[in-house]
Amino acid sequence: MAPAAMRTAAQSIAGAKPVSYWLDDPAKPDALPALTGDEHTDLLVVGGGYSGLWTALIAKERDPERDVVLIEGHEVGWAASGRNGGFCAASLTHGLANGVERWPDEIAKLEELGERNLDAIEAAVARYGIDCEFERTGEIDVATEPHQLDELREWHEEIVKLGITGVDFLDRDALRAEVDSPTFLGGLWDRRGVAMLHPAKLAWGLKRACQGRGVRIYEHTRGLDLVRSGTGMAVRTPYGRVFARRVALGTNVFPSLVKRVRPYTVPVYDYALMTEPLTPEQLASIGWKGRQGLGDSANQFHYFRLSADNRILWGGYDAIYPYGGRLSSDLDQRPETFLKLAEQFFTCFPQLSGLNFTHAWGGAIDTCSRFTAFFGTAHQGRVAYAAGFTGLGVGSTRFGADVMLDLLSGEETERTRLEMVRSKPMPFPPEPFAWAGIEITKRSLARADSNGGHRNLWLRAMDKLGLGFDS
């Protein structure tokens, strides 16, 4: 990038607040008191992100008389659930292509369950009056390189053969009529399979819905360990204990209370910027009347969308794995990544030169080697867990909640019969091998992006083994 353009990018982020735009909102509810002393309940949910909130809420919907307690180590929605891009997808498999590759025999059922799950989220938002700016606008996968356009065209032909409808191929002119960027060559528009929403307001709305159903929520209450207690389980917290017949773990990126689950995930830090609101003239210069979510088709991809007040969220590209899987708030800010994102933003939308970013933030998500969630039980079925959503958990965590509750019930359901639910991803190796493997993979993906999509020997080997690394 030319020096003048780099200065423009640097100036655009100079005043950005180092906090998630979504969490920097006056609608943020006050924290609830921490647990002190002992609690007894039928179901304990550990984790106050989407995974735990949906589990607690659905448990009460299934059985209003069931006693449910939820504990959260910080505040509801403060982590990935309040820092993501707000793309709520129907896909349960981190995209149709990943699902077809891994579970071709049950992809039709997985797609059906995903559509039903997104419909159920939309219905719950309406039923509980959750003001989370829900817009079912769909998402466009964008090609910015010729090889990406060829791949999207071929993939659209496969989608048609699979009998999946509602996904349209857009050539350059059709795409730029929707959203105008000189870098866009074409795209695939999934018209109904993705909704845009305000992620933190969804979490806060689910919190209120849980309380309205009688769930007892304790914030600033970290689960420290999990042990058997009589016919049930006990979770120790800093100032008390919770005794429960059953436990659902929705801790995701944070170390699982079931230690054998930990090698299946690693934390990845993802970063995003939010612009100031666009003027009517600026918005007209790019179109975007359909308000779809967008993501480019590179291995190191960007995701971007409009907020309700016509800001642009621009995130992705860098996926940073800290050596040893370290989790630290120090890693939430990465100036070199923010500068890179700003430069890439103005390459995509040069007509918006002079626009400033008001917020710059990052945070950790849990990723697994198959890119999509896995499930299981422990302690003779008294404990269930779901993890590994790999950045696509806004919608699929609700499905994961249903799976955990099914597993805890001990009953076979259409969900628990799925190979996706019954199988596990490959675990990550111990250090230093995890860090070395991830770094080699990241560098190989970057080379593929700059080399016409050609995947080197390392990536082809990873493909053959069904392994990967993604944000």
Note the pTM of the prediction, 2 decimals.
0.96
Contact (Cβ atoms closer than 8 angstroms) between residue 210 and residue 53: yes
Structure confidence at residue 466 (pLDDT): 76
Compute the distance between CA of residue 217 and CA of residue 72 in angstroms, rounded to an integer: 8
Contact (Cβ atoms closer than 8 angstroms) between residue 389 and residue 372: yes
- Residue 50 tokens, joined: 């989407």
List Cβ neighbours of 241 (8 Å cut-off, separation of 6 or more): 38, 39, 234, 235
Compute the distance between CA of residue 166 and CA of residue 160 in angstroms, rounded to an integer: 10
Angle at 289 between CA 288 and CA 293, to 5 degrees: 50
10-residue mean pLDDT profile of the chain (471 residues): values are 69 97 96 98 98 98 98 98 98 95 96 98 98 98 97 96 94 98 98 97 98 98 97 98 98 96 96 98 98 95 97 96 94 97 97 97 96 97 97 97 98 97 96 92 88 89 73 45
Compute the distance between CA of residue 318 and CA of residue 369 in angstroms, rounded to an integer: 18
Helices (H) and strands (E) in the chain, counts: 13, 18
Structure confidence at residue 471 (pLDDT): 45
Compute the distance between CA of residue 310 and CA of residue 47 in angstroms, rounded to an integer: 32
